[in-house]
Amino acid sequence: MKTRKLGKGGLEVSELGFGCMGLSFPNAPTKEESIILIRSAVEHGITFFDTAQGYGKNELLVGEALEPLRKEVIIATKFGFKDGNVRFGLDSRPETIKAVAEASLKRLRTDVIDLFYQHRPDPNVPAEDVAGTVKDLIQEGKVKYFGLSEPTAENIKKAHAVLPITAVQSEYSMFYREPENEIIPILDQLGIGFVPFSPLGKGFLTGTIHANTIFEETDSRNFSPRFNKENREANQSLVDLIVAIAADKNITPAQIALGWLLAQQKFIVPIPGTSKLRRLQENTDAVNVILTTDELSKINSALSQIKITGERYPIQAQQTTGKK
């Protein structure tokens, strides 16, 4: 697998990363199975792994899985919620950031965090103070690079003026293209990498979900307005488009969705997650997808005619975390 550079500080990662959050969800594989999966990702050429304090016991899992391979990989984690619990609200006070860094180092079984993101902007803490605190951690040798997750353009400008941002993480896919309006242009301007999470639209872009799909009771998509039956039916035209393109190229819809993302900018590194080895192979094969300029133009033209309906998160989650 080829590599890509995030930011101007020299951080080089595999062109496709691995989002580990889902391995701590209900109905996730066992710990032993998850460790095998993470290590298999390394065997497939993935060197970039994403976790967070707010993902339950996920840092412990990632730390155990990657400890024998630590010199071969880049680990990103995040701070920014009270007691590491998304439901408790935001907390990016300097003292909290430093405490989280110490705790994450122990859980990850490492002496340095490669990429440390603020999980969500905290309206009670200036972006400059957040950047300054991470700058202190970098000077102490506990962190290497600084990132922001789902920031506004203004957050990016203010934080970057204090400490160069290496990467910004936000949702981005054919299913959610909002970052194209402000975020991607400013990242291009400032030389900051972009790490899209949910690059397969939480599974919607794989072509395996339709209006009559029934999710398991514990599936988080049950609580997303975007995934209610009416919106799935309204958004089916997007899936139909991707399935048709994939059939023409004799590859899978997921590979088209990831290949499209990789073709948008050289500083984009998607982090799809999966709990299945066969999906891991499918995802990593997407780095070999070649979309010509003409094909991309036709895809983007078709996408511009499709209106996606449904919010990403329920109102309660928007109020707690600022996510929409």
What 3-state class would DSSP assign to 311? coil
Per-residue tokens: 29 = 């594989």
Contact residues for 94 (Cβ-Cβ < 8 A; gap 6+): 125, 129, 130, 132, 133
Can you tell me which residue has the tokens 């984009």? 268
- In angstroms, the CA 305 to CA 302 distance is 5
- In angstroms, the CA 52 to CA 175 distance is 24
| Burial (0-12, 13-18, 19+ Cβ within 10 Å), 112 | middle
Per-residue tokens: 69 = 């391979």
Per-residue tokens: 120 = 């969500």
Element (DSSP H or E) covering residue 31: helix 31-43
What's the first-to-final CA gap in the chain, in angstroms? 34
Per-residue tokens: 272 = 């799809």
**Closest CA relative to residue 241, chosen from 188, 293, 209, 205:** 205
- In angstroms, the CA 14 to CA 18 distance is 10
What 3-state class would DSSP assign to 108? coil
**Closest CA relative to residue 161, chosen from 177, 148, 174:** 148
Q: Which residues are catalytic?
A: 55
